[in-house]
Amino acid sequence: MRIDPNWWKDLFDEFYLRTDARSVDDERLTYREVDFLEEVFSFSKSEPILDLCGGQGRHALELSRRGFCQVVLLDYSETLVRIGKRKAAAEKLGTVFIRADARAAAFSSQTFRVVMILGSSFGYFIDETENRKMLQEAARILKPGGVLLMDLPDREYVLKHFKPVIRHRIDASLEVVRSREIADDIIYSREIVTSRTQGRIREHTYCTHLYSPRKISRLLADAGFERIGTRKGFMCRQSEGDFGTMTRRIVVTARKPGDYSARTFYSQA
């Protein structure tokens, strides 16, 4: 399957929020995930937090609603950043939205206590070197002892339950069909959105890497992180239908060397 290596530059728009609403615009899921963040970490609500590749801000905005007062979001999508800013203004929240490339975040070194990469937003670059740059940048902008939190597709589950074609209805008139291939632990997907009245109205191809706990741990260690832990079964959704790589995920924590008392957890079989 042919794919533009820069596919991520124009996929994430308002229509994406419709095609992927059940995963990226689900308030109940967002509440559960932010509950998890508060449960895992014991940091103060005054700590600076970065939501890296945070889209329209579903996690960042919810953290701000709960009293976290230094929440910053960075995303490349001009559309999603604009939507997030509008929501923050409407709710009078202090969430800061910045449009930039996650590989060059333009923050000073040692700025944040926590960096989050959530919603399976890691592994979009075909060239693994570019994915590594994201982790290196996260390490650079974290304070000593700061924590990185990521969630990723559960590789074992994806491979075991892989389906070459997934389809679901957005509403009564729109259907999404995703045709997928796997090669070298990269899932290549072609997404076609069809309208009953207009026919084919959108087509995109994109990809995401799959990581075993061992592989992501190695990448994080190479980027300078320590105390790396993985946990399976993060927000499992298999009982609610096939959500592709979002059906079952793993969550990963890692710490930048230094003195900090935030809790973390370690690999579970």
pLDDT value at residue 244: 64
Taken in order 201, 243, 253, 147, is the CA torsion positive or negative?
A: positive
The string of pLDDT tens digits covering residues 216-237 is 999 999 999 999 999 886 655 5
The string of pLDDT tens digits covering residues 55-102 is 999 999 999 999 999 999 999 999 999 999 999 999 999 999 999 999
Structural tokens at position 190: 């072609």
pLDDT value at residue 115: 97
Pairing outcome for strands 249-255 and 49-52: unpaired
Residue 266 scores a pLDDT above 50: no
What CA–CA distance (Å, rounded) separates 163 from 148?
31
Are 175 and 145 in contact, with CB atoms under 8 Å apart? no
- The DSSP line for 86-116 is HHHHHTT---EEEE--TTS--PPTT-EEEEE
Nearest to 27 by CA among 80, 65, 78, 67: 65
What is the residue type of 178?
Answer: R
Q: What domains, with CATH codes, occur in the chain?
A: 7-153+212-255 (3.40.50.150)
Q: Check: pTM over 0.85? Answer yes or no.
A: yes
Pairing outcome for strands 199-209 and 226-234: unpaired
Q: Which residues contact 73 (CB under 8 A, 6 or more apart)?
A: 50, 51, 54, 57, 60, 81, 84, 95, 96, 97, 98
Around 21, how many Cα atoms within 13 Å sit in the side-chain half-sphere? 12
The string of pLDDT tens digits covering residues 155-197 is 999 999 999 998 888 888 889 999 999 999 999 999 999 999 9
Least confident piece of the model among 36-45, 80-89, 130-139, 232-241: 232-241
For residue 65, give the 3-state DSSP assignment. helix
Are 24 and 58 in contact, with CB atoms under 8 Å apart? yes
